[in-house]
Amino acid sequence: MGKGDKKTKRGKIHRGTFGSRRPRIKKKPSVEKKISIGNKATPK
């Protein structure tokens, strides 16, 4: 159990791989996209 173990979190970090023990962290959408600063309201 340690750096050489494929199934542990420490082993995943050592190898630089991902799995169920060490999932990838997904990026959150940026605040600017939520607010949509560039998009101005169009008159009807």
The total of other beta-carbon atoms located within 10 Å of residue 12's CB is 19
pLDDT in tens, 1-44: 788 898 899 999 999 999 888 899 888 877 766 666 666 666 67
Is 41 among the domain residues? no
Domain span including residue 19: 1-36
pLDDT for 28 equals 80
> Would you say residue 14 lies in a domain?
yes
Question: In the prediction, which pLDDT does 18 show?
Answer: 92
Q: How many domains does the chain have?
A: 1
Within-domain flag for 24:
yes
3-state SS of 1-44 is CCCCCCCCHHHHHHHCCCCCCCCCCCCCCCHHHHHCCCCCCCCC
Confirm whether pTM is higher than 0.75. no
